[in-house]
Each structure stands twice: as structure tokens, then as C-alpha cells.
Structure 1
Amino acid sequence: MDIALILAAVIAVVMIIGGFSIYNGIIGGHNRVQRAWSDVLVYERQKTKVLDQLQKVLADFMVYEASLLEKITGLRSAVNALPAGANGNALTTVETATRELMGGLRIAFEAYPDLKASEAANNMMREIAEQQENVGAAITIYNRNVELFNNAIEMFPGSVVNGLFNKKTRVTPFTDTEASQSFSYTPNI
């Protein structure tokens, strides 16, 4: 009888330790998702700082390009409207506005040869492109953390622990529907 009691106590201790481990893993995963989302917000806001500088440089050349100035303002507003909580759907507006702005800037550079020669404008265009690459990398990290977190709360035994204690909900990853429409993949089976 003593062996059965000891065995039951050991199993109970292992289950309790396992439960704490899963619980803490879910909390850690949620915190990683929030941190990754914060990184996305930081890069998006850094991009708007460059846009502010670019807007000043381009003002002289953009007398006839009011729509481009509107796109800069729209992008800045979209970035400022991003929620503090992780939400991949919120990025869709910002990424669409960025694509439109970059297209408009390319057209403006072609329309104004003096602007093309401006070192300040060229440097800012490179910086905007670099900031956009940083945003892309941050989104990749965010989506990976979202996937790991969502798996942790949806798969057994994490789903049981989450259902009983954490009550965390799925986080929405960022998806770029425009990019995915132009990409098709069929696995070799």
C-alpha cells in the first residue's frame, strides 16, 4: 500500500509541475506575441518619422502632387491608429497605404528629375525602404510568435490548462492578401 501511495503522490506532483509548466508557457507565449507586436508598432512609427522629414523635402516639388501628400498623411494616420494589443488585421491598412505611397513616390521621382538628383530625397527613400524591410522582419517574427502561441492554447494539454486557468484567446496573425493572391504554390506529392 505504501508503494501505491508514493506512486500516486509522484504522479500528482508530476502533473502539478507539468500544469504549471504549461500555464507558464502560455503566459510566456502571450507575452512574446505582445512584445513582437510592439516591435511592429515601433518600426511603423519610425517609418512615419522619416515620412515627416521626406514631406518637408518634397514640399517644393510636390505642388502638383497633392495626392502624394495625402498618402503620406493617410499612412501616418493609419500607423497612429494601430492598436496596442496584437492584431494582425490592423496592419492591412498600413501595409496597403505604404505600397500606395511607395508607388506614388516612384512616379514623383520620375516626374521631377531635380528631385531624383536630390541627395536628401534619395537618402530618405532608402531609409523608408529600410524601415519597410524592418517592418517586414518584425511582422515575420510576430506571425511566428502568434503561431506558437495559438498552437500552445489550442493543442492538448495546453488547451485544457488554458481553458481552466488562463482563458487566453487566439491572436490574429497578419496576412497580406494582395501578396498571397499573386503567389501560388502546389506541393509535389
Structure 2
Amino acid sequence: MDIILILCAVTAVVIIIAGISIYNGIIGGHNRVQRAWSDVLVYERQKSKVLDQLQKVLADFMVFETSLLEKITGLRSAVHALPAGADGNALGKVELASKELMGGLRVAFEAYPDLKASEAANNMMREIAEQQENVGAAITIYNRNVELFNNSIEMFPGSVVNGLFNQKAPVIPFSDIEASQGFSYTPNF
């Protein structure tokens, strides 16, 4: 009788430890997703600060580039409207506005040699491009963390622990619909 009781106690302890470990893994995964989302927001807001400076430089060309300044303002508004919680869908508007802005800036630099020669404007353009690369890297990290988190709450035994205790919902990864439409290859899912 003692051996059966000991085996039951050991089994119960192992199940409890495994449950706690899975529970903590889900919480840790959720926190990593939120931190990765925060990194995306930080890079977007840093880009917004450079856009503020660029807007001042472009003010001299306002007569010629009103639409460009509107795109900068629109992008800044979109960045500030990003939610604090992780949401890949919300980022789509910001990325689309960034692409439109970068296209408009290239046209402006080609059209106005004085602006092109401005060292400050060139430095800001490089900074914006660098910040955009940082955003891309942060999105990649965010999506990877979303994948790991979603797997942890949707796969057994994590799904059982999540259903009983955490009840965390899957997080939506960022998806660039415009970029995916440009590919002729589709994965074999």
C-alpha cells in the first residue's frame, strides 16, 4: 500500500510541477510578445521624432510639397495611434504610410536639388531609413514571439493549462498584405 501511495504522491508532484512550468511558460511567452510589441512602438516613435525634424526642414518647400507634409503628418498620427497592446493588424496602416512617405521623399529629393544638397535633410533621410530597418527587425522578432506564444497556448498540454488557468487569447501577428501580393509563390500549406 505504501508504494502505491508514494507513486501517487510522486505522480501528483510531477503533474503539479509540469503544470506550474507550463503556466509560467505561457506567462513568459505573453510577456515576450508584449515586450517585442513595445520595441516596435519604440522604433516607430523614434522614426516619428525624426519625421518631426524633417517636417521643419521641408517647411521651406511647403508650397511645392504640401502632399508630402500631409503624408508625414499622417504617418506620425498613425504611429501615435498604435495600441499599447500587441496587435499586428494595427501596424499595417503605419507600414503602408511609411512606404508612401519614403516614395514621396525620393521624388522630392529628385525634384529639388537644394533639398537634396541639404546635409540635414540627407542625414534625416538616412535616420528614417535606419529606423525603418529597425522597425522591420523588431517586427520579425515580434512575429517570432507571437508564433511561440500562440503555439504554447494552442498545443497540448499548454492548451489545457491555458484553458484552465491563464485563458490567454492568441495574438495576431503582423502581416504585410501588400508585400505578399507581390509574390507569385505561395507556400504549400
Using structure 1 for the length normalisation, give the TM-score: 0.97
| Cα separation, 2, equivalents of 1:79 and 1:186 | 31
| Unaligned ranges ≥5, structure 2 | none
5 Å-filtered alignment, 1:28-67, equals 28-67=28-67
Distance 1:40 1:186, change over 3 A: closer
- Post-superposition CA distance 1:15-44 (Å, at most 9, x none): 000000000000000000000000000000
5 Å-filtered alignment, 1:99-138, equals 99-138=99-138
Structure-2 residue corresponding to 1:87? 87
| Deviation (angstroms), 1:186 | 5.7
| Cα separation, 1, equivalents of 2:138 and 2:106 | 25
Moved over 6 A (4+): none
| Unaligned ranges ≥5, structure 1 | none
Structure-2 residue corresponding to 1:154? 154
| Cα separation, 2, equivalents of 1:97 and 1:40 | 15
Using structure 2 for the length normalisation, give the TM-score: 0.97
Distance 1:165 1:179, change over 3 A: same
- Post-superposition CA distance 1:70-100 (Å, at most 9, x none): 0000000000000000000000000000000
| Cα separation, 2, equivalents of 1:187 and 1:14 | 40
| Deviation (angstroms), 1:63 | 1.6
How many residue pairs get aligned? The number is 188
- Post-superposition CA distance 1:72-131 (Å, at most 9, x none): 000000000000000000000000000000000000001101111111111100000000
Percent of aligned pairs sharing the same letter: 87
Q: RMSD over aligned Cα, in angstroms?
A: 1.1
Q: Does 1:169 align with 2:169?
A: yes
| Matched position secondary structure for 2:143 | helix
Residue type matched to 1:107 in 2? V
| Deviation (angstroms), 1:150 | 0.2
